[in-house]
Structure 1
Amino acid sequence: MERMYTTIGEHFIQILCDSAKIMNWIERNFQVVEPIKDQPDLFIQLTEGYGIPFVDYHVTITKESNLISFRRADYLIETSLDYQNSRISVHNELALKHALMNLYSSYLVYHRWGLLIHSSCTIDKDNAYMFAGHSGAGKSTVAKLSHPRELLSDEATIIKITPDQITVFDSPFRSELVRTGVKESSTLTGIYLLHQAIDNRIVPLTKSNGLLFLMNKVFYWSHSLEETRNILRLLQHVVNAVSISELHFQKNDTFWELIS
């Protein structure tokens, strides 16, 4: 098996894989690094040839005394209870991306480090702004319209949550847009819930409404009451620290005049 190392957020990850195709995909999408410490934060073993092409997002979850299994038509994840040691079998590259996103999200929640949120995120004047919404609301559109500002994510935003600061990290989990800068992280300054419109305007939201909206934007399998509580606690930190508003925007870059 081939061994490689990468980092996501602040986490050092070791990957073992016997598939050249999978390793090539990882090398295209993740930053390959030299070993930086003896014990990785996550250890992942990858194999291909599992299941059938994507059918839907339904995941069957089985929990035993020392193992959790997540089974979808196109992937199988078997992981330790702390999500630090995992075996992933996938059908193709799409299955691999989805499996890695959900495994990493579960790791963040379990260790109360932060969240992986379905959104795009752009840096303007050294501050990060996150854009979320329902499917088709314009996350990728806003990311494209924000060029030449640096893009930290166009699909899955990694945020670290501490009592003093909310920090966004460059995300390798991308949909269609490649990285457009050199910054690894930035302070999260604003969250905007997207609505395409005929004019630009911002409508502030209450903290409770903002929390409810963000709750279903977290990449997460709802299988543990305690970990669902962790998500709520983490999101409460976010909405208390960062302003959340609706952004009604024209399909051009003039909405940035309202933000910055």
Structure 2
Amino acid sequence: MLGNLLGVGRFLIKNGREIIVDPEKGINEDVLRPCILGSAMVVLLQQRGFLVLHASCVVVEDEAIAFLGYSGSGKSTIASAFHREGYGILTEDVMAIDTKVDPYLVIPSFPSIKLRADSAEALGYDQGILSPLHPLTQKKVHHLDHGFVNKSYPLKRIYILAQGDRNEITPLSPKTAFIELVRHTRAVHTLKHQELEQVHFQQCATLVNNIPIFKLERKFVLSELPGLVKSIKEDLKQT
């Protein structure tokens, strides 16, 4: 697949094995890097047959727990809150799922996590160890030297993030869950070929039929993150 990112460069992704980049002249490497590890890597993973969702994922008792949401919904912040309590991070922002095996496996991503400065401060991170993601964003990058999981784990549960007046977890109907999975598919616009679309929809339907999917409403109050983590862990004990 050949694609173009305006102001960044052209990308050719071949057979799920190779990414060829023709960067714009003078492009900052800090701007280019997230594009390679983000959009280009997503297409490569899709070419390999993985279902790729916009999600961060942590490991709790040897099972993968995923948080899906749009940019700014708190995926990385919640994953980091679990990390601060000793849980491993499996993916950040890009979650690839192997639906061809039983149980479904979440593939580990890169050992770093992106946070806004206020989130990093609320979580107790030393601002001195964080580096800017790139000049066009205020997000910081925390490169993990521990607590990052480097092997696949079975997917147990998915939470769809939403803002609310209180912290509340509710199960989603299969129809709503399917819509949310499609909505939070990474680089969904690249699935233009009819066969790819059919495979993708089949993967989402299979996931809905086999993995519990919940809506997680939360107050966007950083001081309540420990309580939110506690609520999620209590919910996980219900099954």
Q: Give me the TM-score of the superposition, normalised by structure 1.
A: 0.65
The question of whether the paired residues in 1 share the 8 Å contact of 2:18 and 2:44 is answered with: no
Match of 2:119 in 1: none
Distance 1:174 1:141, change over 3 A: closer
How big is the shift at 1:206? 1.5
Q: Give the superposition deviation at 1:182.
A: 4.2
Q: Does 1:216 align with 2:183?
A: yes
Match of 1:199 in 2: 166
Q: CA deviation at 1:174?
A: 4.4
Of 69-78 and 121-130, more deviation after overlay is shown by 69-78
Cross-structure match for 1:93: 30
Larger RCO of the pair (alpha carbons < 8 Å, separation 6+): 2
Query: Which amino acid is 1:89 matched to?
Result: D
Is 1:190 paired with 2:157? yes
Determine if the alignment matches structure 1 residue 150 to structure 2 residue 88: yes
Partner of 1:135: helix, strand, or coil? coil
Structure 1: where are the runs of 5+ without partners? 1-67
Distance 1:85 1:157 in 2: 19
Moved more, 222-231 or 232-241: 222-231
**Match for residue 58 of structure 2?**
122
- Could you tell me which runs of 5 or more consecutive residues in structure 2 were left unpaired when the two chains were aligned: 115-140
Identify, as 1 or 2, the structure richer in strand. 1
Match of 1:258 among 219, 235, 239: 235
* More deviation, 173-182/208-217: 173-182
Tell me the CA shift for residue 154 of structure 1. 2.4
Residue 84 of structure 1 corresponds to 17
Deviation at 1:249, TM superposition (A): 3.2
Question: Aligned partners of 2:102 and 2:166: how far apart in 1?
Answer: 35
What letter is aligned with 2:207?
A: V
Identity of aligned residues (%): 21
CA contact (8 A) 1:132 1:193 kept: yes
Q: Do residues 237 (structure 1) and 173 (structure 2) align?
A: no
